[in-house]
Amino acid sequence: MENKDTQPASNNFIKSIIIEDLKNNKNNGKVHTRFPPEPNGYLHLGHAKSICLNFGLAKEFGGLTNLRFDDTNPVKEDVEYVDSIIEDVKWLGFDWGDRLYYASDYFDKLYEFALQLINDGLAYVCEQTPEEVKLYRGTLTEPGRPSPFRDRSIEENLELFKKMTNGEFPDGSRTLRAKIDMSSPNLNMRDPVIYRIKKATHHRTGDKWCIYPMYDFTHGQSDMLEGITHSICTLEFEDHRPLYDWYLDVLKTPCHPQQIEFARLNINYTVLSKRKLLQLVKEGYVNGWDDPRMPTISGFRRRGYTPQSIRDFAERIGVTKAESTVDYSVLEFCIREDLNKIAQRAMAVVNPLKVTIENYPEDNEDYLEAINNPEDSNSGTRKIRFSKTIFIEKDDFMEEPPKKYFRLAPGKEVRLRYAYFITCKEVIKDENGEVVELICTYDPASRGGNSPDGRKVQGTIHWVSAEYGKQAEVRLYDNLFLAEDPDNVEEGKTFLDNLNPNSLTTINAWVEPMLLQAKPNDKFQFERVGYFCADAKDSIDGKPVFNRTVGLRDSWAKMMKK
Ligand code: ATP
Ligand code: MG
C-alpha cells in the first residue's frame, strides 16, 4: 500500500523555478502568489487548477496567496460573480487571510503611473478609431505604422488625457497608448492601449471614472503593488510577458514580479470558457451557473463533488507548458476515490421490477442489519425492514440469460443484499409481453445473506421494500456535450450544435426510508448504482432530490446510459 504522507510531493517546472529562486535568495526568500479572476462569470474547473496551483505553491513554501479581482471592465462585471468566486475559492479549502484585493483599488495609482509615462514621453493620446488602430498595427509579417498622433508634445498629451478623464470625449474616440515600437515582431508591443474611455458605472468605483485601464497595464502593476513574487498565468499571456516587463521596467518599480505561464486545462465533452458558459446560462440551455451539468465549481459542488476530489484532480493532472486535453474519466476517478471513503451506503432501485416472495409471511417484523460504510469502521450499521413484496432493478433479471449471468433468471437463485437467497419461480408479463413481476421463493435459513449449507450463490443484488420503501426524485446526468471537443464544428455550426439533448434524465426511484431524512449535500453510495448527493437547492425537508454524482465504474455508467 502506498502511504500518501510519505510520498514525495509531485514536481512541476514552476516548483523548480521557485526552489531555484529560494536557493538564490531571490525576493528575500519569499513566495507570494495571487489568484486574479475577472468577476465576469462563475469559476470553472480550469480556474480550480489555477487556484490549486497558486495557493498550493505558496502553502508548500510557507508563502502567501492573494485573491484579487481583476475588475477593469465595468460592462461585463458584477457583484454576483464576486460573491460566487469568494464562495468557491473558500469551498475549495483555500484562505487568502485579509488579502482580498480589487484591481479597482489601484485605479488612483494606475492613473499616476499613466501620468508618469506621459511625462517620460512614453505614452500619448491617440485619436484613431479602433478600426484604424487595428489597420495601423500591421500583421505578423508586416510591421505596423505609427499613429499620426504619436508625436504629440508632453503638454498636449497631459491636457488631452485630463479631458479624457473628465469625460469630455465620447466612448471609443480617444485612447492613451504606450509609445513602444510599431515595428516590433511582437504585436503586443506595437503601442498598446493603456486606457480607454468607457462611460459605465463600475460595481465598486461607481461613476468616479469614465476611463478604465487595460488588463495588460493593470495586471503587472497590481502584482507589483502587492509584492507578488511569482505571477502565474496561462500560456496565452506568454506573448504579453515583454509588455508586462516593459511597464515595470520603465516605471522603475521597487520590485519586479516574474510572470510564469503554464498550459490551461482542457477537458473533453465540455467547454471551459466563461463566455460560452455564460451563453449556456443566458440562453437557458442549463438551469443556471450551478446546474450540476456545468463544469463550474458551483456545478460540481451541487453535483456532489467534494473539494478534496477537485484538489486531488488538480494535483494528478500536473502543470506543464504543453497544451493537452484531460480525459473526463480522470475527474470521475478522483471523486469516486473520495466518495468511496466517505459516502454512506444505501439501497435504491432506479428502474424497478416488482418481486413477490410467495412463501414470505405477511406483516412480518423482520429488520435486517446493513453496514453503513465498509470503508469506515466507525460508521456503524442500520436496520432495514424486509417485506413480502420488494423491488429489484429491471437489469438484474433476464428471462434468457447468457452463460455468465449471475443475477436473477427463471429457476435461478440470487442473494438479496443483507437479506435472503431468493429463487425465481414465475415470470408475469403484461399484454405487450413485458415482464412486470416476478414470483419468487426465499430460503429463511439464508437470513443475512449467508449460505445455510455451503451452496454457492454467485450474484448479489440490491432491493427496496415495496411496502416500507419510499419514492424519491433522482436526476441522472450525462455529458453536457456529445462531442469530445464541442468546439470542433463544421462551418455554420457552433458548440451549441453539440449539446447532448439527453444530458438530464429525471426519474422516480424507490429508496430505503432512511434516505428521506437526507439533508442538502448529504452524499451516498446507492449500492451497485452510483454515488448520489441530495440536491442543495431543490431538496425540501423529508423530500430530498438526488443528483447522480458519478457511476460506480465506467462500465456500469455505460450500462446505465442505455
Ligand atoms: P475564460 O477563458 O474562461 O474566460 P479567463 O482566463 O478569462 O477564463 P480569468 O478570470 O481571467 O478567466 O482567470 C483567472 C485565472 O484563472 C487566470 O490566471 C487564468 O489564467 C486562470 N485560468 C482560466 N482558465 C483556465 C484554465 N482552463 N486552466 C487553467 N487556468 C485557467
Ligand atoms: Mg481573462
DSSP secondary structure of 412-444: -EEEETTS-EEEEEEEEE-TTS-EEEEEEEEEG
Backbone angles phi, psi at 329, to 5 degrees: -65, -20
Q: Strand 100-102's sheet: what is its strand order? A: 32-35, 64-69, 100-102
- Reply yes or no on whether the pLDDT at 3 is more than 70: no
Nearest CA to ligand 1 atom 16: 47
Q: Tell which atom from ligand 1 comes closest to the C-alpha of 277.
A: 3
Contact 52/315 with Cβ under 8 angstroms? Answer: yes
3-state secondary structure of 561: helix
**Nearest C-alpha neighbor of 70 from the set 200, 220, 189:** 220
pLDDT tens digits, one per residue of 34-67: 999 999 999 999 999 999 999 999 999 999 999 9
Q: How far apart are the first and last CA of the chain?
A: 36
Instruction: For residue 263, report the distance from its CA to the centre of ligand 1, in Å.
Output: 11
- Mean pLDDT computed over 222-231: 98
Nearest CA to ligand 1 atom 14: 37
Determine the pLDDT at residue 556.
37
- Mean pLDDT computed over 12-18: 95
- Mean pLDDT computed over 205-226: 97
Determine the pLDDT at residue 559.
42
15, 38, 417, 437: the active-site residue: 38
HSE at residue 498, side-chain half, CA atoms within 13 A, is 21
Instruction: For residue 46, report the distance from its CA to the centre of ligand 1, in Å.
Output: 6
Determine the pLDDT at residue 329.
94
Determine the pLDDT at residue 399.
96
Determine the pLDDT at residue 560.
42
Determine the pLDDT at residue 5.
41
The Cα–Cα gap between 441 and 413 comes to 9
- Reply yes or no on whether the pLDDT at 558 is more than 90: no
pLDDT averaged over the chain? 95
pLDDT tens digits, one per residue of 337-354: 999 999 999 999 999 999
The Cα–Cα gap between 54 and 33 comes to 6
Cα 109 to the chain's mean position, in Å? 34
- Reply yes or no on whether the pLDDT at 4 is more than 60: no
Confidence of residue 77 (pLDDT cuts 50, 70, 90): confident
Instruction: For residue 485, report the distance from its CA to the centre of ligand 1, in Å.
Output: 18
Instruction: For residue 47, report the distance from its CA to the centre of ligand 1, in Å.
Output: 5
Contact 117/123 with Cβ under 8 angstroms? Answer: yes
**Nearest C-alpha neighbor of 551 from the set 461, 476, 447:** 476
Determine the pLDDT at residue 11.
80
Q: What percent of the chain has pLDDT over 70?
A: 97
pLDDT tens digits, one per residue of 498-547: 999 999 999 999 999 999 999 999 999 999 999 999 999 999 999 999 99
**Nearest C-alpha neighbor of 390 from the set 358, 412, 365:** 358
**Nearest C-alpha neighbor of 517 from the set 313, 331, 346:** 346
Instruction: For residue 353, report the distance from its CA to the centre of ligand 2, in Å.
Output: 52
- Reply yes or no on whether the pLDDT at 300 is more than 80: yes
Told to judge if 274 belongs to the known catalytic residues of this protein, a careful annotator would answer yes
Instruction: For residue 38, report the distance from its CA to the centre of ligand 2, in Å.
Output: 6
- Reply yes or no on whether the pLDDT at 296 is more than 90: yes
Confidence of residue 7 (pLDDT cuts 50, 70, 90): very low
Q: Degrees (nearest 5) of the Cα angle 124, 126, 128?
A: 160
Its sign, for the CA torsion 397, 399, 405, 409, is positive
34, 152, 241, 274: the active-site residue: 274
- Give the range among 9-18, 346-355, 488-497 with minimum mean pLDDT: 9-18
Cα 226 to the chain's mean position, in Å? 28
Nearest ligand for residue 37 CA: 1
Backbone angles phi, psi at 64, to 5 degrees: -130, 155
User: Quick one: cell of 126?
Assistant: 491617440
- Mean pLDDT computed over 466-481: 97
Cα 88 to the chain's mean position, in Å? 10
pLDDT tens digits, one per residue of 320-334: 999 889 999 999 999
Instruction: For residue 136, report the distance from its CA to the centre of ligand 1, in Å.
Output: 30
Contact 472/391 with Cβ under 8 angstroms? Answer: no
Instruction: Name the residue type at position 511.
Output: V
- Reply yes or no on whether the pLDDT at 553 is more than 90: no
Alpha-carbon separation of residue 506 from 32, 162, 356 (angstroms): 47, 60, 27
Determine the pLDDT at residue 465.
98
Nearest CA to ligand 1 atom 18: 233
Confidence of residue 8 (pLDDT cuts 50, 70, 90): very low
- Mean pLDDT computed over 488-506: 96
Can you list the domains of the chain with their CATH numbers? Answer: 31-262 (3.40.50.620), 274-344+474-508+531-561 (1.10.1160.10), 348-462 (2.40.240.10)
The Cα–Cα gap between 424 and 408 comes to 7
**Nearest C-alpha neighbor of 66 from the set 28, 40, 105:** 105
Q: Which of 38, 47, 84 to mutate to test the pocket of ligand 1 (most atoms within 8 A of CB)?
A: 47
Contact 418/370 with Cβ under 8 angstroms? Answer: yes
Nearest ligand for residue 261 CA: 1
For the whole model, what pTM was predicted? 0.93
The Cα–Cα gap between 311 and 559 comes to 29
The Cα–Cα gap between 110 and 122 comes to 15
**Nearest C-alpha neighbor of 506 from the set 471, 480, 474, 547:** 474
Q: Tell which atom from ligand 1 comes closest to the C-alpha of 39.
A: 10
The Cα–Cα gap between 488 and 494 comes to 8
Backbone angles phi, psi at 449, to 5 degrees: 90, 10
The Cα–Cα gap between 550 and 533 comes to 10
Confidence of residue 82 (pLDDT cuts 50, 70, 90): very high
- 432 or 6: which leads in pLDDT: 432
- Reply yes or no on whether the pLDDT at 112 is more than 90: yes
Told to judge if 38 belongs to the known catalytic residues of this protein, a careful annotator would answer yes
Taking CB atoms and a 6 Å cutoff, what residues make up the pocket around ligand 1? 36-38, 46-47, 49-50, 233-234, 264-265, 272-275
3-state secondary structure of 270: coil
264, 417, 425, 528: the active-site residue: 264
- Reply yes or no on whether the pLDDT at 9 is more than 60: no
Q: Which of 12, 34, 222, 234 to mutate to test the pocket of ligand 1 (most atoms within 8 A of CB)?
A: 234
Strand partners, 296: 44
Alpha-carbon separation of residue 236 from 68, 204, 240, 322, 373 (angstroms): 20, 28, 8, 12, 46
List, in sequence order, every beta strand (DSSP E) within 462-527.
464-465, 470-477, 504-511, 523-526
Confidence of residue 10 (pLDDT cuts 50, 70, 90): low
Determine the pLDDT at residue 6.
38
Nearest CA to ligand 1 atom 23: 47
Q: Give the single-character DSSP code of 397.
A: B
Determine the pLDDT at residue 324.
87
Nearest CA to ligand 1 atom 4: 274
Determine the pLDDT at residue 303.
98
Confidence of residue 554 (pLDDT cuts 50, 70, 90): low
Nearest CA to ligand 1 atom 10: 37
Output 199-204 pairs: Cβ under 8 A, ≥24 positions apart.
199/167, 199/170, 199/171, 200/74, 200/75, 201/74, 202/71, 202/74, 202/77, 202/104, 203/39, 203/71, 203/74, 203/77, 203/78, 203/79, 203/82, 204/71, 204/102, 204/104
- Mean pLDDT computed over 393-413: 96
